Structures are given as C-alpha cells and as structure tokens.
Amino acid sequence: MIINERGNTTSNLNNCGLAAIRGDWIYYRCNNKGNLFKIHIDGTGKIKLNDDSCLYINVVGDWVYYLNENDSMKTYKIKTDGSSRMLLSDDIGKEILVDGKWVYLCHRATVKPNNKNKYRGDQLLPDSYLKKIRVDGKIATIISKEPLWGLCLIGDWLYCNNGDDDRLIKMFADGSNKTILCDDAAYGICWDNDWIYYRFGNKLYRIRPDGSYKTELLGDYSWSYNVINDWIYYFDYGCDLYKMRTDGNEKVLLYEYNNSIAITDVSRHINVVGDWIFYQHEYEYWNNGNFDEEIQICKIRTDGTLHQIAD
C-alpha cells in the first residue's frame, strides 16, 4: 500500500485547519483578517502569502490548498512562495483534505451565513456530497451523494461522520463498502496510533478501526481537542488548556485563562504543528453600552510557554 503525502493531520483538519507544517516552515491563518502566513519553525522569517481568509490549510509539495472564506468557502491553491494563486474548485466547501494528487472536498449544498458572513459551523443539507478533485483541477469525481464530513483518510479507508444521523462510519476511499462503526453521534474525528478518537456529547472516546474496544477517555470537558503522538490537547469549559497522555495519565495544565472583561468566551480549533499549538479564542465584552466580539488566533508552545497572538 502506497501512502501519499498528506496535506495536514486529521486532528488539525477537524479543527478547521488553522495551521500546517512542511519541512522547516509553519503555514498558518494569522490573527489579522485570517490571511495566510508562513514562518520558520525557529520563529524567524515571517512572510505573508495572500490576502484571503484561509481555513482548512493543506500543504503538499510546493502548493498550499485552502478554503477561502472571502469567496464563499471555495477551494484555492497558491505556491508556498505566495505566487500563482488560483481557484481550484467552485464547489462551496465545508472542509477539504489533500492526499497526494487528490483533494477530498465535503461540498456544502447551501450556505446560510450568519450576520458576520462566516460559513464554518453550518450544517450540511441533504443534497450535499463528497467529491475528490485532482490537484490540477482537471478531473473531479463524486464519491458519495450523501452528506459526509469530519474526514479521516487512513490508507485505503475513509472514516467520517454520516451527515444523515451523525454516526461514525468507514468506507473505501472510492465510496464503496460503507460500514457503521458505532451508533454514537461522532464529532471531531481524529486518528493517532491505530485509534480513532471522537467526541460524543460532552465526553471523549476512542475506538479501534474495526469498531472494537470503545473506551471513554474524558468526561465533562469542552468540545475542542486534538490528538497527536500519544498526547491529547484539550480545553475545559473555563478555556484552560490541558494536555494528557492518551492512556489518561500525565495530565498537565498548559495555560490558565484569565480575561476580566469577557462576558462570554470560548476557546476551540486546537491545531498542533511541531512544538506549537495554534487555536482560536472568541469572547464578547461590554464596550460603551454595546456588546463587542473579539476573535483571536493564538499560539503557545506544547510545553505551555510563549503564549501569544499569532500575528
């Protein structure tokens, strides 16, 4: 079995793909307008690559692929040096995953933007579908005419959320042999060391790829988490950031949140790239008689040091 080059980790892509790493460079959605930047892993050489608002960032070869929030979540690609920006697909996407020569796209049939014209978080409608597109845009094939999302591609198998009832399913990457793994409404599907992780209600579970050994790992926690290299990174309901081993040991507080002006707040979309954690923090506050909202892209070392805004 040939393993193609993957554009990002499953855990990052199921957290909106705010950041990806290739070689010595980190590509990320910056705090200011969501534009695409890259920075060397040592923190030097920051370069702005475009003026788009980028989500679901994938890097394969010399290309960066992303959904453009400024253009109805259509798929774009751009060279890693910021040149040759182009539209790859007119399909309105909920998410993308790039594997070798193919872009897997969850198509959103109808977009209902909120008052800030943001598209992420909207539900798929029944006439949504899953499509794969060759990276040059010349070939496109519909894999499934059912609404699917939360893509996790491992070898020849695609694990995802069945949009009809949200159950965890698997099927071949060509859409055949669809099988239900469990009856839980599975969200935030991640993969690490032959385990599938998912959120059901307020609890975090893991299960083997054949549907066996379902295990509860965390109860009563916030719904944002990321799993990589035997570590689980997650927020509690107070927006404090923790990590713990996938066996439940070595729980460590990485960042204790404190915002004296916030009325409501939430931290989510944890992305882990190298020694860095990127995430999105949103809060509302009272400003001269009106409610204001602030959305920040933040980053912090995986050891809990150097917390900062990802400008």
CA distance 165 to 161: 8
pLDDT of residue 52: 98
State both tokens at 217: 């790992």
82 contacts 47 by C-beta, under 8 angstroms: yes
State both tokens at 21: 């790493």
265 contacts 272 by C-beta, under 8 angstroms: no
CA distance 280 to 266: 8
Task: Collect the ranges in the chain with pLDDT lower than 50.
Answer: 1-3, 111, 113, 115-122, 124
For 10-309, CATH number out of 2.120.10.30, 2.60.40.10, 3.40.50.150, 1.10.10.10 equals: 2.120.10.30
Residues in the chain: 311
Q: First-to-last CA distance in the chain?
A: 40
The β-bridge partners of 106 are 95, 130
Domain map (residue ranges) of the chain: 10-309
57 contacts 38 by C-beta, under 8 angstroms: no
Residue labelled with tokens 């014209």: 117
- Residue 212 phi, psi dihedral angles, 5° rounding: -95, 170
